[in-house]
Every structure is written in C-alpha cells, then in structure tokens.
Amino acid sequence: MPIPPLYGHEGIRSRLVGAIASGRLPQGLLLEGPRGVGKQRLGLWLAQTLLCRGRGEAKEQRTGEPCGQCQACKLVTSLSHPDVHWFVPVELSKKGADADKQLDLVAEALADEMTARREQPLYEPPSGLASHGIASVRLLLRRLALTPALGQHKVFIVGDAERLVPQIGAEAAANALLKALEEPPADTVIVLTTSEPDALLPTMLSRVVRVRLARNADSIVAVFAQRELGLKSEREVAQRVAAADGCIGKLLASGRPGRGPEAADAFRATATQGAVQRFAFALSQAPFQARGGFTEMLDGLLERLRDQARRGGETGKVVEAIARVLDARELAQGNVNPQLLAAVLADQLAELA
Ligand SMILES: [Zn+2]
C-alpha cells in the first residue's frame, strides 16, 4: 500500500522545488517542527521529487512536483526505492552482539519497520527507548558510500534525529557522520528531522540548513481526515481535527483507542482491583504483538510513574514499580507473551499499590 499523499506545507514545497531547479538544494537539511506535523513525510516527498523520472515529457507537467505515476515515484511512495534510505530509531532486542552483527540487526530492524509501514502506512511514533545507536550510524555511513542503484541521487532521511546519541568509544563514527553532513557525496541529500532541535548537538546543527515546518491549517487536516481516513461524521471530523492541532500525525494517533497513555491508565486501574479483574485484563492483551501496543502501554505506564515520582509521596514504592515495568519491557522486547507479562506485572503493581 502506498503511503498517503503529503498534505499542506505548500510554501516549503515550492521553495524546495525552486532550489532543485536552480541546482541550489542544500545537501544537508534539518526539517524541524511539532511532532506529527509531517516532517518525515516531507522528506519522502523531497526524495520523490529528486528521483521522479516522469517529468519533462509534456511542458504542462513541468511544475517541478513529482508526477506520482512513474516507477521511481511509485517505489518511493511504497517505501521500496533502493536509493531512499529511511532511518528511524530502532530498539535492538539482542544486545552485546559484535559490531558487524549489530549492523545486520539494525538493517533487519529497519527493514521490518519498513515492511510494517508498507502494510500499515499510518505508522506509529517510535517507542521511548528506540534510538539511532552507533550501529545505525555505521550502517548509514556504509550506505552513503554506495552509488545510486536506480536514479541520479541517494536520499537519506533520519527521523527523530535528536535520538542520534553520541556513544563513548564511537567517536570515529560520530566524526564521520559530521563530516558526511558537512560534505555529503555529490549525489546525496541528507534530511534530518526533529521536533526537538535544541536536543541536537551544536556541531550537527551548524552543518545543516534548518527549515521550520508550521502547523497545517485545520481545513487541510480536515480534508486529510475525510479523504484519507474516510471519516464521514462532521462532528467526528471536527473533534479530531481540533485535537490534532494542525498535525496530521496527531490526527492519526487519536484514531487508535486503547494505546499508550489510555491503555496505561486502564492497566493501573486494574492493578487496584481484585485478582480476577487483573487476570481478565491480562488476557485482553493481544498475545503476539509484544513489540507494538504492549510496549507502548508500558511506556505510558512509565510516564505516569515518573510523574508520580516527581510529585513525591511514597517514592520507594514508585521506584520499585518503575523497575518492575522496565523488567517487563525488556522481556517484551525478547518476545515473551504479553498476556503472561501483563498478568505478572499487574500482580506486582497490585502489591505495591
Ligand atoms: Zn514520478
């Protein structure tokens, strides 16, 4: 399934198209703006614009925007173009493997993520502990050195770039990345995206051209809701558009009931109830999807507990509860059955409540 089309951001799009036409597109870009505003989607659109081969056939088509019809366009929007390298934060389940093995694991995790996004193009934000670790940086450097497989360009999109974490002992790779940002190979454009530009290293910020994405108008978000999500009820559209606050990503997230924070609250509520309710709740967890919804629920739980710890009170118990949730989280990454984990965790939290 292709990803939904890009909505909004017309001003930036026409500036980018103009920059490409005049050969002045910066090779290192940082797209910044609120979470869910469409930064990575814009990065993919830019890749499509650079790689599109359908233009120039008829004069009236020469708008500079991608045609959407040619093979390159279709490959980009189905996340299969070999010259588009989309790096998203990943969480590796096997730690401690040697460097080469780590690199394979990252490549595998990224490929899995892209497969998931092809099947369900309205993807979810990465979990709180996912990052661009040193293996991701090494993989990126390796791919930078490749010649384009199909087109004239390679495009790298690095989502949530604030999660590029410098690591001790990996200075060489970190420096190589800085150098690549400063002077990428001639055929390469690197697009970083972030909702927290202040969390990026100054050495990185100084090497990219910063482009700020503003929130979309509600009217644009509403059209997306109707056309792409097929929402019919005017009231539902109005409510969800208002909650989205100009960010289509937020609009998408609001359509998934029972995930993240809401599920965490439901879980905490059962922890104060009897054993039967706890067991019923555990059984309601999907058995085979440990990495998705269940991990998200645990993240929501961690957030609540951390808030509680900040407010003070029975800090010892809260710290203990956080430790239990982190244990469960690690086991979930190792693909232990979420029903079992939920049952054990609910009992542990009930004891601490
Ligand atoms: Zn095209």
Ligand 1 centroid – CA 316 distance (Å)? 59
pLDDT of residue 285: 66
Ligand 1 centroid – CA 187 distance (Å)? 18
What does the pLDDT average to over 307-319? 82
Summarize pLDDT for 249-277 with one digit per residue, the tens.
888 877 665 556 777 777 777 777 777 77
End-to-end CA distance of the chain, in Å? 45
Ligand 1 centroid – CA 259 distance (Å)? 36
Asked if residue 59 has pLDDT above 50, the reply is no
Residue 18 pLDDT class (50, 70, 90 cuts): very high
Q: Assign residue 90 a region: left if phi > 0, alpha if psi is -120 to 50, beta otherwise?
A: beta
- Residue 18 CB neighbour total at 10 angstroms: 12
Ligand 1 centroid – CA 65 distance (Å)? 9
User: Of residues 185 and 349, which shows the higher confidence score?
Assistant: 185
**Residue 155: beta bridge partners?**
84, 189
CA distance 258 to 256: 7
Asked if residue 235 has pLDDT above 80, the reply is yes
pLDDT of residue 60: 46
Ligand 1 centroid – CA 69 distance (Å)? 5
H or E element in which residue 178 lies: helix 171-182
pLDDT of residue 195: 94
Asked if residue 20 has pLDDT above 70, the reply is yes
Ligand 1 centroid – CA 217 distance (Å)? 27
Ligand 1 centroid – CA 77 distance (Å)? 10
Angle between helices 275-283 and 260-271 (to 10 degrees): 150
Mean pLDDT of the chain: 86
DSSP three-state, residue 84? strand
Residue 38 pLDDT class (50, 70, 90 cuts): very high
pLDDT of residue 155: 98
pLDDT of residue 40: 96
User: Of residues 118 and 63, which shows the higher confidence score?
Assistant: 118
pLDDT of residue 57: 56
pLDDT of residue 258: 52
Asked if residue 182 has pLDDT above 50, the reply is yes
User: Of residues 101 and 286, which shows the higher confidence score?
Assistant: 101
What does the pLDDT average to over 149-176? 86
Ligand 1 centroid – CA 49 distance (Å)? 7
Ligand 1 centroid – CA 151 distance (Å)? 12
Q: Where are the domains of the chain?
A: 10-212, 218-253, 260-352
pLDDT of residue 291: 57
User: Is there a contact between 278 and 269 (Cβ–Cβ < 8 Å)?
Assistant: no
Residue 56 pLDDT class (50, 70, 90 cuts): low
Ligand 1 centroid – CA 73 distance (Å)? 4
User: Minimum mean pLDDT among 32-41, 100-109, 292-301, 313-322: which range?
Assistant: 292-301
Homologous superfamily of domain range 10-212: P-loop containing nucleotide triphosphate hydrolases (3.40.50.300)
Paired sense of beta strands 188-194 and 28-32, if any:
parallel
pLDDT of residue 259: 56
User: Is there a contact between 16 and 49 (Cβ–Cβ < 8 Å)?
Assistant: yes
Ligand 1 centroid – CA 301 distance (Å)? 44
User: Is there a contact between 29 and 44 (Cβ–Cβ < 8 Å)?
Assistant: no
Query: What's the chain's Rg over C-alpha atoms?
Result: 22
Ligand 1 centroid – CA 81 distance (Å)? 12
Tell me the torsion sign for CA atoms 18, 23, 25, 26: negative
Asked if residue 89 has pLDDT above 80, the reply is yes
CA distance 9 to 21: 18
Asked if residue 193 has pLDDT above 90, the reply is yes
